[in-house]
A and B are shown apart, each in its own frame.
Chain A
Amino acid sequence: MREVFVLGIGQSVFGKFPDRSVADLGQEAIRAAIRDAGVAPRRLEVAYAARLYGGMILAQTTLKEIGITRIEMINVENACAGGSSAVRALWKDVAGGFYDIGIAFGTESMTTSPVARQLIPPEKGDLEGQLGANMPGIFALMANRLMETHGATRRDFAQVSVKAHDAGALNPMAQYRKRMTVDEVLASREIVDPLTLLQCCPNTDGAAAIILCTAEIAKQYQRTPVRVMASVLQSADYFYRKEDLTSFEVGARAATMAYEMAGVDPSDIDVIEVHDAFTAEEMVHYEDLRLCPRGEAVGLLRSGATALGGRIPVNPSGGLLSLGHPLSASGVRNVCEIVQQLRGEAGERQVEGATLGLAQMIGGNATGLETGACSIHILSR
């Protein structure tokens, strides 16, 4: 396999833009990535477009406005892991020698999606969905178990949101740049017990894009080469095999595979981005990524180790909670955040001296499965 490098990254503005199409948002991110890479658009040999709520041939309809046609284009869906699945697919193309340079992007308009203003339900006709299951509900049940098994409290869950917003306030690309206290988080409207409104990711429209290439091309263009050390995508196991809701088997499995592929240890990682659509899950990811031993995630959060300035900052971007969560864009966007951190271009939210970073996304919900997919990328400079 060939070494793969990040040549360019780009993000659109994140927020509520019901008048903008997914293609329009995607173009903003793609133009930014092309500008960042410094390559001609027609140099790109392959494109992957991720979207959960989008139309037909989104890659083609987005890229035609940028002058890109007549290359291999693939449209990808994998719930919240859709964007990172597109990155993974592009990585395989470059690592495997099929193409030397390509683009992956994710774009989503949550405000105009069929689930706008709803708690995201499973697919129509799903048994658990018919009985009232939805995304925040599933994560609230995880919170319920964390309180039982880990001694987690409502204040701990709220603290995850406080931490995210502290970081997001420093990110000019974040949807909500407002600091808040634990009490303010807890006083917001109840959504699904014990999770309040400010513990749920907002409805967000936006897009992100990344250009990957070979070492040869990277050498011609790059200021600070960032290498993709590991790219992993795994599907989830049956729900019945789960002992408890306090771990994602697929999350732990993907982490083990990624650390092995990169040849690194969890303790080597300097900065991490995870799926924090709902506060409680962040603590589960700490343990699945082996940032601490099983059972000690609450202690890790309380110690401040995962805040900016701590031993292992998690979600310095502000995470999905503060930065916003256009579903299929997020998996691209959080790889881009790690790239910015490793380049030393993260401004006020920079993790000093970061040389190794990890981006994780997880998503999907259906009767009989623990979740849908988990993707992990490890990058280094």
Chain B
Amino acid sequence: MTDTATPPLEPKLLRDDILLHSAAGWTLAGSRCACGHISFPPVNTCPECLGDLIETVELPKTGTIFACTTVRMPAANFKPPYSIGYVDLSGGPRVFAHFQMGQEMLKIGAPVRLQVKPLWEEHGRPVVAYCFVGFDRAPDA
């Protein structure tokens, strides 16, 4: 028993291999093979050439929506409605996306940018993951 208030729990990263933090802020972490193939999420063996000369690279932070939908039933980590889909990163791979943007902007071809922040909680601890947002919203900074 303690009589002090419980301090808020430190946020944790969803996974320690999918995000990179540098002076430029957060990016998705990709695996670039010597053959040029880029994978996300990161891999140890290139699925294209089976090579293991893999370098971790920052993936582009912007892209366009390739496909999108809004889910109207609850998921393990989200209350409805929430939106998911795929984003074609600018000059990069196509990645699965959780979207946090208005329905009016959620359309194939719409430009989006990466945002890294707590998206849900596990036992009271915020979990930091990635999502994509539209461009007309001010950055959370």
Residues of B within 8 A of A191 (CB): 71-73
Judged by a CB distance under 8 angstroms, whether A98 is at the interface is no
Judged by a CB distance under 8 angstroms, whether B41 is at the interface is yes
Least CB distance from A23 to B in Å reads 29
Residues of A within 8 A of B77 (CB): 130-132
Closest chain A residue to B129, Cβ basis: A131
Judged by a CB distance under 8 angstroms, whether A127 is at the interface is yes
Judged by a CB distance under 8 angstroms, whether B101 is at the interface is no
Size of the A side of the interface (Cβ < 8 Å), in residues, is: 31
Closest chain B residue to A117, Cβ basis: B73
Verify B73–A140 contact, CB threshold 8 A.
Answer: no
Given A192-B69, A240-B47; A131-B94 close (CB under 8 Å): no
Residues of A within 8 A of B97 (CB): 131
Residues of B within 8 A of A357 (CB): none
Residues of A within 8 A of B72 (CB): 189-193
Verify A245–B71 contact, CB threshold 8 A.
Answer: no
Least CB distance from A241 to B in Å reads 9
1/0 contact string of B29-64 vs chain A (CB within 8 Å) = 000000000010100000100000000000000000
Choose among B18, B68, B98 the residue that contacts A144 (Cβ–Cβ < 8 A).
B68
Judged by a CB distance under 8 angstroms, whether A238 is at the interface is yes
1/0 contact string of A116-131 vs chain B (CB within 8 Å) = 0011010000011111
Residues of B within 8 A of A245 (CB): 67, 86
In the assembled complex, the Cα of A145 lies from the Cα of B66 at a distance in Å of 8
Verify B41–A193 contact, CB threshold 8 A.
Answer: no
Least CB distance from A368 to B in Å reads 7
Verify B73–A131 contact, CB threshold 8 A.
Answer: no
Closest chain B residue to A131, Cβ basis: B98
Closest chain A residue to B97, Cβ basis: A131
Verify B68–A132 contact, CB threshold 8 A.
Answer: no
Judged by a CB distance under 8 angstroms, whether B141 is at the interface is no
Residues of B within 8 A of A240 (CB): 39, 47, 93-94
Judged by a CB distance under 8 angstroms, whether A19 is at the interface is no
Residues of A within 8 A of B26 (CB): none
1/0 contact string of A160-195 vs chain B (CB within 8 Å) = 000000000000000000000000000001111110
Residues of A within 8 A of B129 (CB): 130-131
Residues of B within 8 A of A300 (CB): none
Verify B71–A131 contact, CB threshold 8 A.
Answer: no
Q: Enumerate B78-135 residues with CB–CB distance to A below 8 Å.
A: 78, 82, 84-86, 93-94, 96-98, 108, 119, 129-131
Closest chain A residue to B70, Cβ basis: A193
Verify B68–A141 contact, CB threshold 8 A.
Answer: yes
Interface residues on B, range: 20 to 34
Residues of A within 8 A of B119 (CB): 131
In the assembled complex, the Cα of A368 lies from the Cα of B94 at a distance in Å of 11
Verify A121–B67 contact, CB threshold 8 A.
Answer: no
Least CB distance from B42 to A in Å reads 11
Judged by a CB distance under 8 angstroms, whether A133 is at the interface is yes
Prevailing SS type, chain A contact patch? mixed
In the assembled complex, the Cα of A179 lies from the Cα of B119 at a distance in Å of 42
In the assembled complex, the Cα of A128 lies from the Cα of B98 at a distance in Å of 9
Verify A127–B75 contact, CB threshold 8 A.
Answer: no
Verify A140–B69 contact, CB threshold 8 A.
Answer: yes
Given A130-B77, A240-B47; A145-B98 close (CB under 8 Å): no
Closest chain B residue to A196, Cβ basis: B72
Verify B39–A133 contact, CB threshold 8 A.
Answer: no
In the assembled complex, the Cα of A79 lies from the Cα of B73 at a distance in Å of 22
Judged by a CB distance under 8 angstroms, whether A367 is at the interface is yes
Verify A132–B47 contact, CB threshold 8 A.
Answer: no
Judged by a CB distance under 8 angstroms, whether A134 is at the interface is yes
Verify B67–A145 contact, CB threshold 8 A.
Answer: yes
In the assembled complex, the Cα of A61 lies from the Cα of B70 at a distance in Å of 42
Judged by a CB distance under 8 angstroms, whether B9 is at the interface is no
Choose among A119, A127, A145, A148 the residue that contacts B73 (Cβ–Cβ < 8 A).
A119
- Find the residue from A127, A131, A134, A245 having the highest chain B CB count within 10 A: A131
Verify A367–B70 contact, CB threshold 8 A.
Answer: no
Residues of B within 8 A of A192 (CB): 69-73
Given A144-B85, A148-B108, A367-B41; A132-B78 close (CB under 8 Å): yes
What is B's interface to A at a CB cutoff of 8 Å?
Answer: 14-15, 18, 39, 41, 47, 67-73, 75-78, 82, 84-86, 93-94, 96-98, 108, 119, 129-131
A-B interface, 3 closest residue pairs, ranked by CB to CB distance from nearest: A140-B69, A141-B67, A131-B98
Sample of 7 A–B contacts (CB below 8 Å): A119-B71, A131-B97, A133-B96, A144-B69, A192-B69, A240-B47, A367-B41
14 additional contacts, CB 8 Å, given A127-B14, A192-B72?
A: A127-B15, A130-B76, A131-B84, A131-B98, A131-B131, A137-B69, A140-B71, A141-B69, A141-B85, A191-B71, A191-B72, A192-B71, A240-B93, A245-B86
